[in-house]
Structure 1
Amino acid sequence: MTRIDDLPLRDELRGMSPYGAPQLDVPVRLNTNENPFPVPEALVRLIADRVSDAARTLNRYPDRDAVVLRTQLAGYLTRTTGYQVGPHQVWAANGSNEIIQQLLQAFGGPGRTAIGFDPSYSMHSLISRGTGTGWISGPRNEHFGIDREAAVAAIHEHRPEVVFVCSPNNPTGTAVEAETVLALYEAAQAARPERGALVVVDEAYAEFSHRPSLLPLIEGRPTLVLTRTMSKAFGAAGLRLGYLAADPAVVEAVLLVRLPYHLSAVTQATAHAALEFADTLLGYVDELKAERDRLVTELREIGCEVTESDANFVQFGRFEDPKDVWRRLLDHGVLVRDNGVPGRLRVSCGTREENDTFLDAVRAVMKEISE
């Protein structure tokens, strides 16, 4: 049987592993940061009606530039952040991962490099390598925040064309201060004085944060980009809809590399409906934030070391053998994420009942280990 190594694969892809988390049939799945609340029935009916309407014209291509959807997204950002955004500043794609890919296709590529601050979202490095962009792993401090001075020094040393900042950060949940983003942006422009460098702020979990969005920072900064997703706060992971906000010139650049008609009519119709239910869907966010804070408190009471979180998940430890703890929790019917951060695991925030089951499992596992 032919092996992948027998194929004429690009050298930089050899030895890599595809992104993914275990998809196991267990009572409590808290490993992929999904919103645990199902879509309301009223929205299900609206989606069905909108998709039915779209189906009647499936013989035609969808709106290539998703103008109506981008207008809705711009309105959502303006209303929820207080910062005025127009549709010409917004672009949408199949999940924020495709947004990241398009940005790297336009601003990265062979002979160019991107930097991120690990541990962080692993798709930043995977998509970088997939687009032929060199990857640099920048530093974080012992509390998993970005060490501003060290990060600025790394940017000056490596002079990357693309800088990734994840806030709140995945998998640690830590938020990044606006002052730090500004410092990294200024360093990136100084390191690339000819045309500057792209700085991408990944706000996939922004709606769960105690801090205001970093969106206003794009004002007057033409190479600062903010990315978002409808997978988390909107509870629409199955929709696969991500978007960015930036200077209109960035949107023009992405148009050069996007595939024709990349967003299907069905995807656009579903996203239209979901955005009309934004207030209802965001109502679940407050409940999840309260549950996240409860997880932090109770995990510490159990004796775990917990990283402060502004997301819908919590990083906890510190374990001598996190893989063993992961397996033991699975034996108790709870699936969490082993993200490879030394001594730690990550749990997504579920319903109150799911979180109770998880906490009981942690207590049982801690007792097993102590004995």
Structure 2
Amino acid sequence: MTSLNDLPIRDDLRGREPYGAPQLDVPYALNTNENPYPPSEALVKAIGEAVRDVAGSLNRYPDRDAVALRSDLAAFLNRDTPGAGLSWRQVWAANGSNEIIQQILQAFGGAGRTALGFEPSYSMHPIITSVSGTAWINAHRDEDFGLEAERAVAAVEEHRPDVVFLTSPNNPTGTALPFSTIEAVLSVTPGMVVVDEAYAEFRRAGVPSALTLLPRNPRLIVTRTMSKAFAMAGTRLGYLAADPAVIDALLLVRLPYHLSAVTQAVARTAMAHGAELLGSVDALRVARDDLVAWLRAEGHQVADSDANFVLFGRFADRRRVWQSMLDRGVLIREVGPPEWLRVSVGTPEEMAAFRTALKESL
């Protein structure tokens, strides 16, 4: 049989492994940071009706620019961050935030260009960067997984990247960036600054969004997703807010009709039921903070989290702990810095199962 090595793929792709968290049939899956609460029967019915409404015209292409959906997303961001004042022309949507990142790098990265990030951080940033032909620079985070402004500025001034990725709250650590760090990076970066806010809805009170910086920073891009707080991971809808000129740049690289009519209909219906979908966020914040306190009381090191997951350690053999928990039906994530593990915040039943499995595994 023909193997991958027999094909004339690009040299820089040889030896790579496809990205992806394990998808295993287990009682308690706490490894992909999903919202554990499914849509209500009323929302399921509304989504079914929305899909039915567009089904009769699936012989036609969808709205290529998704104007209605972008208007809904802009309205949500204006509610989430009062004073943002966004119009639909400042919002763009794609198939998950990963396609958003890909389009940004297609437009502003490429051969001879560089993107810089501060790891440990979202592992798809360097993967999509390299696949787009852009060189990746890892400038590293502080020892406590934070990122002080001075360190960030020094890295940007040294490397002069075309794209800078700042992740807040950060994945896999959960830490939010000081606003001063984002502002400092914006002041010295020659290219684009992407603030990945995939988990922004879970941030603690008083932690601001970079959306407030958009009016005076035309090279700033703030990315969001409906996969986490909105409990719509299966919809595959990511979006960004930026200056209209940035949207114009992305139009040059997007595939035509990239968002299906069904995706747009489902996403708009979810946005219309946003209060319901986001109704679990407060409970998940409380569960997260309770989990952090419990893990610390048990003697573990825990990173401060503004997301719906917690990074904890340290383990001399984290693979053994991960496997032992899996043997007990609890799937968590072996990701990030060595000696650390990450667990998504789940329902009370799931958190109880996690606590029991962890104590037994140790």
TM-score, normalised via structure 2 length:
0.98
Where does 1:96-135 land on structure 2 (aligned, <5 Å)? 96-135=97-136
Confirm or deny: 8 A CA contact 2:152 2:181 kept in the other structure: no
Counterpart code for 1:154: A
Can you list the C-alpha shifts for 1:21-57, whole angstroms capped at 9, x where unaligned? 1111111000000110001111110100010010010
SS in 2 for 1:244: strand
Structure 2 gap segments, 5+ residues each: none
Where does 1:250-289 land on structure 2 (aligned, <5 Å)? 250-289=246-285
Q: Distance in 1 between matches of 2:337 and 2:55?
A: 45
Residue number in structure 2 paired with 1:209: 203
Q: Distance in 2 between matches of 1:106 and 1:42?
A: 40
Residue number in structure 1 paired with 2:2: 2
User: C-alpha root-mean-square deviation of aligned residues, in Å?
Assistant: 0.9
Counterpart code for 1:205: Y
Q: Distance in 1 between matches of 2:222 and 2:5?
A: 37
Can you list the C-alpha shifts for 1:265-313, whole angstroms capped at 9, x where unaligned? 0000001100001111111000101100111011111111111000000
Counterpart code for 2:282: D
Confirm or deny: 8 A CA contact 1:139 1:151 kept in the other structure: no
Counterpart code for 1:146: L
Spell out structure 1 runs of 4+ moving beyond 3 A: none
Q: Distance in 1 between matches of 2:80 and 2:150?
A: 32
Q: Does residue 22 of structure 1 match 2:22?
A: yes
Q: Does residue 87 of structure 1 match 2:98?
A: no
Where does 1:1-371 land on structure 2 (aligned, <5 Å)? 1-82=1-82, 83-189=84-190, 197-210=191-204, 211-366=207-362
Question: CA shift at 1:259, angstroms?
Answer: 0.4
Residue number in structure 2 paired with 1:194: none
SS in 1 for 2:247: helix
SS in 1 for 2:233: coil
Question: CA shift at 1:59, angstroms?
Answer: 0.7
SS in 1 for 2:47: helix
Question: CA shift at 1:152, angstroms?
Answer: 1.5
Confirm or deny: 8 A CA contact 2:203 2:306 kept in the other structure: yes
TM-score, normalised via structure 1 length:
0.95
Question: CA shift at 1:7, angstroms?
Answer: 2.0
Confirm or deny: 8 A CA contact 2:172 2:336 kept in the other structure: no
Counterpart code for 1:70: R
SS in 1 for 2:93: strand
Counterpart code for 2:23: Q
Can you list the C-alpha shifts for 1:89-113, whole angstroms capped at 9, x where unaligned? 0000000000000000000011101
SS in 2 for 1:174: coil
Question: CA shift at 1:13, angstroms?
Answer: 1.7
Confirm or deny: 8 A CA contact 1:139 1:147 kept in the other structure: no
Counterpart code for 1:305: Q
Question: CA shift at 1:15, angstroms?
Answer: 2.0
Confirm or deny: 8 A CA contact 1:139 1:150 kept in the other structure: no
Question: CA shift at 1:159, angstroms?
Answer: 1.1
Structure 1 gap segments, 5+ residues each: 190-196, 367-371
Can you list the C-alpha shifts for 1:169-220, whole angstroms capped at 9, x where unaligned? 000000001110011111213xxxxxxx000000000000011222111111
Confirm or deny: 8 A CA contact 1:13 1:129 kept in the other structure: no
Q: Distance in 2 between matches of 1:320 and 1:201?
A: 33
Q: Distance in 2 between matches of 1:38 and 1:356?
A: 19
Counterpart code for 1:71: S
SS in 1 for 2:355: helix
Can you list the C-alpha shifts for 1:244-265, whole angstroms capped at 9, x where unaligned? 0000000000000000000000
Q: Distance in 2 between matches of 1:217 and 1:327?
A: 44
Q: Distance in 1 between matches of 2:240 and 2:197?
A: 10
Q: Distance in 1 between matches of 2:27 and 2:133?
A: 40
SS in 2 for 1:326: helix
Can you list the C-alpha shifts for 1:327-348, whole angstroms capped at 9, x where unaligned? 0111111000001411100000
Q: Distance in 2 between matches of 1:12 and 1:135?
A: 13
Larger deviation, residues 161-170 vs 300-309: 300-309
Q: Distance in 2 between matches of 1:174 and 1:3?
A: 41
Question: CA shift at 1:123, angstroms?
Answer: 0.5
Q: Distance in 1 between matches of 2:254 and 2:244?
A: 15
Q: Distance in 1 between matches of 2:178 and 2:4?
A: 43
Confirm or deny: 8 A CA contact 2:179 2:208 kept in the other structure: no
SS in 1 for 2:256: coil
